[in-house]
Structure 1
Amino acid sequence: MANARTLRELAAPELPQQPLCITFPTLAENISFKLKSGLIHLLPTFHGLSGEEPHKHIQKFDVVCSSMKLPRITEEQIKLRAFPFSLKDAAKDWLYYVPTGSITTWAQLKKKFLKKFFPASQAVSLRKEICSIKQYPGESLYDYWEKFNKLCTRCPQHQISEQLLIQYFYEGLQSSDRSIIDAASGGALANKTPREAWLLIESMAQNSQQFGFCESNPTRRINEVEKPSIQQQLSELIFFVRQLAVGNMHQAKVCGICTNVGHPTDSCPMLQENEAEQVNMAEGVPTPRRPYDPYSNTYNPGWRDHPNFSYGNKPQNAFSNLPPGFQQ
């Protein structure tokens, strides 16, 4: 039979369908299970990018699947069938390369997923951020507490005790908030147990969010030099440039009548001469007209002496100025 096949048929690849890496549990008799499109649209998506949080994706996926209650169908069966629909792009490709039949439970699938997209190096990096957390100047106690909790949630396997977590948080506080917490704890936070200290800080953070205030004029130490903010310096620079531009415009103002730069429009000499003529006409004094006045509205006899015109008995010979040797 192999010799009877053509070269084209022999070169054609045969792609047998590979089963998925997940082996679904067998259902009871007379039970059919089918995912509804409404559930698939509610599932969160994970693309496998560096900025995504795999633990948060697992939590969102658990919330959606726990809301689905089907008769005689366990929650684990729902998760195993629905999880591939929550993966996109690189994460979806990873699922296809997992060995066939290597996953039989939801715990195995979750462990392989976190091992791939949350390696040990990322956990070490987040653990370092937790240990070196600092409160920025101007950051409220509530914002600092929220930032600390988000770091701890992103790395559930940080393996840091509650005592050390409180210590890292307390050491990163600004001096003002640290004094307030010490005063609220009766003198020093170290006199509280780790659980009491945690509850006290959490209560104070929530209280600062509900009844927070903004300092209109914060106090400064005596040896602290007041420095203008970058926004203030930028505003002053913009104001100076605008003033400089306006001054240059006033200096280079062009007259609208004679188009000269030396004087503004209201100080034009031609405008002053017209005003003087109007005053003389009102007083009955004849105004001497300049010869060849281009702005005259009536006949101007001065045009008769203009060198560019000829009047009277002057010979009108168009060829009088020709060089010698030319015929008319």
Structure 2
Amino acid sequence: MGDNEAPARRVVADYARPNAANARSSITRPAIGVNRLQIPPQIITMVTNTIQFHGLPSEDPNVHLSRFSAICDTFQEQGVTEDACKLRLFPFSLADRAHAWLESLPAGSITTWAGMKEKFLDKYFPPSKIARLRSMIQEFRQKPHVGGDAEAEPGDNEAASRDPGSADTVTDSVHDQRGGTTSGEPVAILGA
């Protein structure tokens, strides 16, 4: 294109189409000292198949980070820092909401592995969750003993811990001991 030529004419619809050139990442990949980082394909497969974090309330982000680090520690490229390796591999460990969260972060906002862990834990293990768990621990009270004997020996309630469908449950045992009675009365078992 010469100096006097006008740029190609574009319509508004052209700007609405997805463009791979505009793709961005919230992770700025650190420079590496080797020509090319080669993460073994089986490591990527292991991460995507075994430790996916979805961002669900039932998932533990600390456990996820621990498992992720354990996998990353299984291989080492000469001249590649831990940050470079983990920052390249971490997006493969996220799925669904968690992956959407990572993509929603500002472009280039994560530059170190420590920064990635901090943002991840701030999102999925925030101070409010820590405070709630701490409060639950501090307010914990043991429930009163249901069997009626406060000084029961550890083996006294063994039958109660068995399969409810078996003939050895507490109810069935009491039923058998009382000669087959089915009065439905509550029965206290002391030293059974």
TM-score range, shorter chain: 0.5 to 0.7
CA displacement 1:124-144 (0-9 Å, x = unmatched): 110012212344567xxxxxx
- The match for 2:35 is 31
> TM-score by structure 2 length?
0.67
Query: Is residue 65–residue 79 contact of structure 1 (8 Å, CA) maintained in 2?
Result: yes
* Aligned ranges 1:200-211 → 2 under 5 Å: none
In structure 2, the CA distance between the partners of 1:78 and 1:131, relative to structure 1 (3 Å rule), is same
Say if 1:3 and 1:105 are closer, same or farther in 2 by CA, change over 3 A.
closer
Letter in 1 for 2:171: Q
1:112-151 matches, cutoff 5 A: 112-135=119-142
Structure 1: state its 5+ residue gaps: 139-174, 177-212, 219-229, 242-328
Distance apart, 1:120 and its partner CA = 1.8
Q: 2:112 aligns with which of 100, 105, 110?
A: 105
Partner of 1:162: none
1: CA distance, partners of 2:157 / 2:119? 55
Structure 1 segment 1-328 matched on structure 2, within 5 A: 9-12=11-14, 13-16=16-19, 17-28=22-33, 31-43=35-47, 44-135=51-142, 214-216=154-156, 231-232=170-171, 236=175
Per-residue deviation, residues 88-144 of structure 1 (Å, max 9, x unmatched): 100000111100011110011111111111122111110012212344567xxxxxx
Runs of 4 or more above 2 Å deviation: 1-5, 9-12, 14-18, 132-138, 213-218, 233-236
Aligned CA distance change for structure 1 residues 217 and 41 (closer, same or farther; 3 Å): closer
SS for the counterpart of 1:96 is helix
Distance in 1, matches of 2:8 and 2:77, equals 55
- Structure-2 change in CA distance of 1:35 and 1:3 (3 Å): closer
Task: Please tell me whether Structure 1 or Structure 2 has the larger radius of gyration of its CA atoms.
Answer: 1
Aligned counterparts of 1:133 and 1:36: Cα–Cα separation in 2: 47
Q: Which structure exhibits the higher relative contact order, with contacts defined as CA atoms closer than 8 Å and separated by 6 or more residues?
A: 2
Contact 1:18 1:100 in 2 (8 A): no
Contact 2:31 2:84 in 1 (8 A): no
Asked whether the equivalents of residues 32 and 81 of structure 2 are also in contact (C-alpha less than 8 Å), the reply is no
After superposition, the Cα gap between the structure-2 partners of 1:40 and 1:217, relative to the gap in structure 1 and judged at 3 Å, is closer
Asked if structure 1 preserves the Cα contact closer than 8 Å seen for 2:28 and 2:109, the reply is: yes
Residues 83 and 113, structure 2, Cα contact 8 Å, conserved in 1: yes
Question: Counterpart of 1:51 in structure 2: which amino acid?
Answer: S
The structure with the largest helix share of the pair is 1
